[in-house]
Amino acid sequence: MRFVGLLVCLVPFVGSVSRADDVDAAYQLLIMDAREQLVYRRESRLQQLPAAPPVPDVQGPVFNEIDRFITARWHEAGVPSALDVPPVCSDNTFLRRVYLDVLGRIPTMEEAHRFLQNDQADKRSHLIDELLNRHEEYADHWTPFWEEAIASNPAPIVGGIPSRGNYQKWLGEHFQKNTPFDVMVAELIDPRMPGHRRSEFEDVLGKPTQTGFILNQTHTDTIQTAAVVGQVFLGTGMKCASCHDHFENDEWPQARFLAFGGLFSSGDLTHIRCEKTVGGTVPAAFPFAIPGAPTQAPADVDGRLHYLALLLTDPLNPRFSKTIVNRLWRRYMGLGLFEPIDDFRSDAPPSHPDLLEWLARDLMTHGYDLKHTIRQILNSRTYQLRYDPAREDHFDNANREAPRYCQSPALRKLTAEQLVDSIRLATRQTLTSDERLFRTKATTPLSRSLSRPASRNEISTTRSEETAVVQALELLNGNEYHHLIYEPGPLTSTAAAQDIDGILDTLYLAILTRAPTADERLVGRAFLHPLSESSDDRVELLGDLSWALVTSVEFQYIH
């Protein structure tokens, strides 16, 4: 009866993937590949979700549903923004912010002119759509984040240690195609998915050594892989529970983690506490209750990974979709709806529970389309607010329950990729995909000082926002930084041919995406007054002014 019921449910779906009109529904199910089955399961399971939180009915300026949740919280808490509504940012600020957030670089002068001279009321929304449709650049900006999140490494063996494989091309292709997020994650894990890359073996000192995202050659490899998947795709730090009960999170006794780890292995894991075998094994099991999902794990490793991918991406999984929308929110707003970003837990509720629930549901009902959720966030008034340090939220790990209200976006330091790519774009007014920093395998003093990891043996979903002396020294005296700015190029050639006011207008627009203020123009005229007829002297002086603009807080941060 269950099989008959499944076929009845399947009839409306199989028409969208049917291969022949006369194929029996039973066979239609069998000839689907794993991706088609995953999509079918998604649509079926979405119907079992509880109703989404109602969108609040609020008074005040709002652009979309996100703003209604944020504004409702202002009124509930009685914060100043409930009566004194914060203004949106200027067109220049929005232009620079959205280019950095979607493409990972500032706009060219031509792109800036085109937007700033447009007087249509909906030009911001149109620009968001345009940027999201620049598929290659969009993918170029996302790829380095996910390379670090899954520890993608260009070399299979690093210092004698197996890596998780090189996924740069794989990631770029998926983000260019805008693959549904649940499908992409399932393909990463599930051997039955089309396009899945199986782990390979490299010879290390005469011993076949496994490399790839799924590492399960040893007990240690297996539990580390489980910790990676839990952190990245469930937003849940489990690693501490790999050898003992978690000291800080009662959700994670060691047995629960080892049960999860067993889903990555060909057999249930031995109970090893602090490198000492306790005795017995822990039956493999998914760590969260998924209504209606099977609870018995298959016996073989491929079957277990398939089972894991299905439960991990199940719409009724309480953490999968919330984790990715929280990552998106943090990427564009500076702080997540729950923090820390990799410590999603029941005893630390998010700042806006209903908004997190609504965004997760909205992502799922739109086919796990990340661009859909990104578009929702970028089109919100909340994203487009003017930066106001007096209203900016901060997170204190010692006081996790302190309220956050999203009255201002957070100030965000440019990543190494954003900074270097934007300097190259400003000075050359063009930037190809091959020239972008993430394509470079080599590590440099400048990139390291800007928090780009020297290697990716460990996964990371965040980079430090802190500044340090080493970074200041690189910006002051570093050869690479100097070369990026002072190398003669189209910007200095164009500016050098203009009068002083023309130079100021060109440099400010190219570097800061705006015109100089009256005070900046006065200071700039005084600085450029010694301009001589010598082309070398002019280029050097223009380089000095460019260095001052590029090294300013305004350029170094997204605000």
Residue 20 corresponds to which tokens in the numbers above? 């022949």
Same domain, 327 and 444: no
Residue 92 corresponds to which tokens in the numbers above? 């220049």
Residue 265 three-state SS: coil
Among 515, 526, 518, which residue's Cα sits nearest to residue 549?
515
128 belongs to a structural domain: no
Identity of residue 527: F
Same domain, 328 and 301: no
Same domain, 443 and 395: no
pLDDT classification of 467: cutoffs 50, 70, 90: confident
Same domain, 402 and 432: no
Same domain, 516 and 429: yes
- Percentage of the chain surpassing pLDDT 70? 95
| pLDDT tens figures, 95-152 | 999 999 999 999 999 999 999 999 999 999 999 999 999 999 999 999 999 999 999 9
In this prediction, residue 318 carries a pLDDT of 92
Same domain, 81 and 159: no
**Residue where one domain finishes, among candidates 312, 342, 374:** 312
* 420 contact partners, CB below 8 Å, separation of at least 6: 437, 446, 447, 450, 484
103 belongs to a structural domain: no
Same domain, 331 and 282: no
27 belongs to a structural domain: no
pLDDT classification of 8: cutoffs 50, 70, 90: very low
Same domain, 180 and 279: yes
| pLDDT tens figures, 294-308 | 999 999 999 999 999
Same domain, 289 and 163: yes
13 belongs to a structural domain: no
Number of domains in the chain: 3
Same domain, 443 and 397: no
298: burial class by Cβ within 10 Å (0-12, 13-18, 19+)? middle
Give start and end residues of each alpha helix (H) in 32-177: 34-46, 65-77, 91-102, 109-116, 123-132, 135-149, 168-177
Asked if 238 contacts 257 with a C-beta cutoff of 8 angstroms, the reply is yes
Q: What's this model's pTM, rounded to 2 decimal places?
A: 0.93
Model confidence at 182: pLDDT above 60: yes
* 365 contact partners, CB below 8 Å, separation of at least 6: 46
**Residue where one domain finishes, among candidates 252, 283, 312:** 312
112 belongs to a structural domain: no
Same domain, 343 and 421: no
**Residue where one domain finishes, among candidates 346, 381, 406:** 406
Residue 229 three-state SS: helix
Same domain, 156 and 303: yes
Which of 73-82, 177-186, 413-422, 452-461 is the least confident region? 452-461
106 belongs to a structural domain: no
Which of 167-181, 198-212, 427-441 is the least confident region? 198-212
Range of the domain at 478: 416-558
Model confidence at 275: pLDDT above 80: no
Q: How far apart are the first and last CA of the chain?
A: 59
139 belongs to a structural domain: no
107 belongs to a structural domain: no
pLDDT classification of 21: cutoffs 50, 70, 90: low
